[in-house]
Chain A
Amino acid sequence: MRTDSERARRAKKRKKAIHYLVCSVIAVIMLFPFYWMFTTSLKTYGNVMKFPPQWWPDPITLDNFIQLFSRHNFLRYLWNSFYIAALVSIGVVIVSSLAGYAFAKMRFKGSNVLFLIILSGMMMPIEVTIIPLFIALSDLNLANSHFGLIIQPIFGYCGAFGTFLMRQFFITVPTELIEAGKIDGASHLRIFRKIVLPLASSTIATLVIFTFLQSWNDYLMPLVLLNDSRTYTLPLGLKLFASEMGVEWNLVMAGATFSTLPMLIVFFFAQRKFMESLAMAGLKG
């Protein structure tokens, strides 16, 4: 009897060990590309070309990163990407929380139809609307600016998704709360700002993470619209840098590391919220 339980315990232990082993192998496979990117960015050109490969850079050099800032304008690209994504996020939160609240809690004629119409924006992604948008922005002399990059996501896919997400949340807010505000004589705008919006902070965080990443990742629109290196965003700047550098992979990987590091750092500090939010957006969006 005792040996039986001992055997069972041992089998359980072995199972656990195998489980850890499998998970570890997977983690190594998933993270190795990042390790390779980072270590290549610290190598000299000569050592990148070496066979067998250098698994750890020797000597370690920061020259590649210095070139990003001296010969190229990666800091400018970073700023452009950051401020565009920030403005897009703010814009999406404002317009979609207003619309989402109205669709959840206000009665007006045609609200159901109008909600479906706005939701249909999710079927009109930039990939299918870019030609007329490019023509219109060119005619308005706004093609080589960030205007389109900021406005399109707010009222396109992200805004439509945001309206849906915010409405889903606001439906769960008890109507008595709003009625109480009305009895106190507060206006709709005041109730919205002071009572309803603070309740939605978690949903707003989800929407911001989703929207910021969409804008941060955007490649097609900058590629089509921008042709002045001072206006480039990180993805576009990096792509053109990589084409220019060819096989100087030490430089290209330095650019790649620099481009992805800010987002990875933010992600590591808020992993749980990132995963939760993007999974939720992935299912709904």
Chain B
Amino acid sequence: MKSKSKLFDKEQLWGYSFISPMLIGFIVISLLPIIATIVISLTNWAMLNNDVKFIGFENYMKLFNDPLFYKVAKNTFLFTLLLIPSNLVLTLGLASLLRDNFKGVGFFRTAVFTPVVTTVVVWGILWKYIFQTDNGLVNTLLSMINLQGPQWLYNANLAIPVAVFVTLVKGLGLNTVIFIGAMKDVPTMYYEASEIDGASKMRQFFSITLPSIAPSIFLVTIITMIGSLKVFAQIDTLTGGGPGTSSFVFVYYIYQQAFKYYNFGYASAISAVLFCLIVILTIIQWKLRKRWVYHEN
């Protein structure tokens, strides 16, 4: 009995030693910084401020009276609102087109997927070139049919839609492949049965495919929402937050406050708000995944 408990202890020790690199690293690199972010958000810490002290929730009060913060929230909301429906419609369409194996399907899937493995900064700069007002490809093509293109990246109303478009095209391939995988898991006998009943392809898509892959659609939607909250590189390369502040998003505002103005306290308060939003969405994602997609454990 005694030797058994000793063996058990040794077993436990092995377990702890296997997880310890990850656990210690996680505490130092992720957990402490998150706590620090929240603590700093309660101070007036700024690089030019010698009198750093706790100021309670003052930064948060300021935040909720800051018109630019509302603009950031609005822009992020608009970004998500434009991205998610267009993304779902296009990727479901692409997945239906590329689901079945036919000659050359590999090439078409690769073509759609290539932007996914392209560096975000390269992608952003490439599209900045294509959307240039003078000499950009889009406006050149428009002028060839005698249309004058707008100042895509320097128009306050177009900056966010253009950034959404660029993000959309980059991510299409990933969600398409996810949906192809989900569609292939739908039992073929459903389709065979409905074919006997004379259902059209359209009818099959809405009555069989869509309900069967609903879990994947919900998961992809949540993941896209989290991604929209973290958008930064596209905005920085395409518009630099501009014109003016018209394409500011969360991370861009954090970056500007923290690393251009060195207002660490205020920037941390914005980070803390962003963190809360990410936590809420991630918990929803985990709950959904547990319920629907993978029957873990």
Contact = CB atoms under 8 A, between A and B. Distances in A.
A111 B20 CA distance: 12
Nearest to A28: B111
Nearest to B254: A127
Chain A contact residues: helix, strand, loop or mixed: helix
B292 to A, nearest CB: 11
B22 A131 contact: no
Contact of A271 (B25, B110, B121, B143): B110
A134 B258 contact: yes
Size bracket, chain A contacts: 35 or more
B30 A220 contact: no
Contact of A53 (B11, B31, B137, B255): B137
A81 B232 CA distance: 19
Given A117-B26, A219-B121, A238-B122, A278 B279 contact: no
B247 interface: no
B23 to A, nearest CB: 6
Contact of B112 (A27, A121, A163): A27
A242, A264, A275 pick with most chain B CB within 10 angstroms: A275
Given A19-B97, A263-B117, A271-B110, A124 B33 contact: yes
B145 interface: no
Contacts of A34: 114, 118
Given A31-B114, A33-B127, A129 B119 contact: no
A168 interface: yes
B112 to A, nearest CB: 6
Contacts of A260: 118-119, 122
A104 to B, nearest CB: 10
A224 B255 contact: yes
Interface stretch (B146-154, B173-181, B191-199): B173-181
A224 B260 CA distance: 10
Interface string A74-118: 000000000000000000001110110111001111010010011
Contact of B22 (A159, A263, A268): A159
A52 B289 CA distance: 52
B208 interface: no
Contact of A124 (B34, B125, B181, B255): B34
B64 interface: no
A234 B294 CA distance: 37
A154 B21 CA distance: 10
B87 interface: no
B219 A283 contact: yes
Interface residues of B, number: 94
Interface in B225-265: 230, 232-233, 236-237, 250-251, 254-255, 258-259, 264
Contacts of A155: 22, 25-26, 28-30
A68 interface: no
B32 interface: yes
Contact of A123 (B125, B130, B143, B282): B282
B54 interface: no
Contacts of A271: 106, 109-110, 113
A217 B140 contact: no
Interface of B: 11-12, 14-16, 18-19, 21-23, 25-26, 28-34, 36-37, 40, 94, 97-98, 102, 104, 106-122, 125-130, 132, 135, 137, 140, 143-144, 169, 172-175, 177-178, 181, 216, 219-220, 223, 230, 232-233, 236-237, 250-251, 254-255, 258-259, 264, 267-268, 271-272, 274-275, 278-279, 282, 289, 293-294, 296-297
26 contacts: A24-B108, A26-B108, A40-B129, A51-B135, A52-B140, A98-B22, A114-B19, A118-B26, A121-B31, A128-B271, A128-B278, A129-B29, A133-B33, A134-B259, A135-B264, A152-B29, A155-B29, A160-B26, A192-B18, A220-B251, A234-B121, A238-B125, A253-B126, A275-B177, A278-B116, A283-B223
Given A103-B19, A121-B31, A133-B29, 6 more contacts: A107-B11, A109-B12, A129-B34, A132-B40, A134-B258, A223-B236
